[in-house]
Structure 1
Amino acid sequence: MTDQTADPLLLDWLRESDPALRWQVERDLLRAPEDVWSRTRARIATEGFGARMLAHQGADGQWAGGAFFPGGWFDSGGPEEPEGQPWTATTPVLKLLREWGLDASALDGTAALLAANARWEYDDLPYWGGEVDCCINADTLATGVWLGADVDGIAEWFVEHRLADGGWNCEWVEGSTRSSYHSTLNAVRGLLAYEVATGGSPALTAARHAGEEYLLERDLFTRLTTGDLVGDWALRLSYPFRWKYDILRATDHLRDAAMHDGTRPDPRMSEAIELLRAQRQPDGTWLQGVRHPGRVWFEVDVAEGRPSKWLTFFATRVLAWWDAG
């Protein structure tokens, strides 16, 4: 581990968190015994962020009465939302609960309720069948396998819709044939979650590896043709994680993938890792960047420019893994 990871003041600061974060700090940074972090993890359903989010679930299994947008969002042009799309509907909420580590048993019956009641805003398609957006389908794939829904069809959809350059693009439906950083990262994250839960298949693993290769051959932040920065957004870190790409989300995924595959860190990550390391403050923290705008049920992290426990945890964990080789 690095000196920063071992800093007791930093670790104490991280540990004084909501159970959704604290259990991960205990497991991955403090290396606490499983009986310690599992007890903390169990508290997600009954206190803090997890319990508050569960309280907003409707009797139909949805949040805000909609699949990706709140119910009625597009009626008569939809409510005016000058600050961006809302994050209060079912799919973004389930993404948070899953990534926080909520046990799926706390949502017993939800998969069936969504199968009966939830339809995508796109063409009124059934919820567990997915739709046409790669990022939405990726989250639905990961959430479905977590809740025990049949999402095998969505997994195969990713194999069928991978582009020739190795990745995916949500604009494929508009005719795009070039992959997107954002879509590709979300796709491989969803595929990995499915693979971990089910064992996957050779075709699914090959598709995931191809998407990861798409990112790695671009060093996680450059254009393949010129080597220039693909966009300032690649270096802007913020939490909660939504659909947008950044080097922290990418390196965190590649950490998870390497641990699952039993492989060492890919050296092509090195420049992105150093850019991530450069954002660490003298006290060992990372600062909140410009967050994705839009309505939320409640805040789960700090305002822009303040030290973020979530970003600090993820970045510290990535660097500890990288530095251990």
Structure 2
Amino acid sequence: MSMGRRQDLFRKLQARTGVPVLVLGGGINGVGLYRELALQGVDCVLVDQADFCAGATSKSSRMIHGGLRYLENREFKLVSEALIERNRLIENAGHYVAPLKTTIPLSSWFGGLIRSGLIFAGLNVSPGERGVLPVKLGLMFYDFITRKNRRTPTHFLTSKAESLRRMPGLRRNIVATATYWDAWITQAERLCIELIQDAQSTNPNCLALNYVKPQGLADGAVLLEDRATGQTAAIRPKVLVNATGAWVDFTNATLGLRTRFMGGTKGSHLVVNNPALHRALDGQMVYYQYRDGRVCIVLPFLDKVV
């Protein structure tokens, strides 16, 4: 976008002192909401302090998954919604999202069964590896949720001998492997941009601007600053949505609210150039849980490995 075009958009923003919905944060959550509102005929404004999709959206594992490990925490609604949305992305955004074959190496038949039951009951117990039976139960539920709108094959178990024949790099102490399908995305950033374009073509009254950040409140209006020019706009939304992700508490503080929604969970994603590992994966992901409870995944990403 040229600077002239951008300044024209900001002048339109300055002229619109009132708006039904103002969305702060241009990651996938903010962008998805922006598009949905536009499709429903609701005029809205979307702003982000940096590039669209510059935060967690661009730094994810590139997986589109339902959250298999959340089942033992009884988060059935979360997993169900995530799987339904996964299938919609496979269907509607097939140029970016595709099914991902996933293998889980399993070193016992019944390991973790009691532990999973205690976690399911709401008790706080130390994490550990899961065996064939608890994983099988979780995958059966996975398949059950998507039975009416299936976009991926159902899961299956493979014997130790056949698993090692197919993937000789697996550890020798496994008793079997479980295989199921989730999905992966090549370019989450481009998907977000297409969603913004879709929203604006559907409802031209919707505006989206990046490098615009909130500076506070004044007389019931949200003060927005154009970081490129230093100009400001005062917007009075009927509904204000904070979709700034990891910055949610900082954004609330800017608006005069003291919150502490963010915790201490973190993860790391490493992209490595390892042709031998890439060949060994053969287009599928390996999912396993270390004995200290950390979930680890290894998957091919284009010609690299994540």
**Pair member with larger Rg:** 2
- Structure with greater strand share of residues: 2
Normalising by the smaller structure, the TM-score range is: under 0.3
TM-score between both structures, scaled by the size of structure 2: 0.23
- Structure with greater helix share of residues: 1
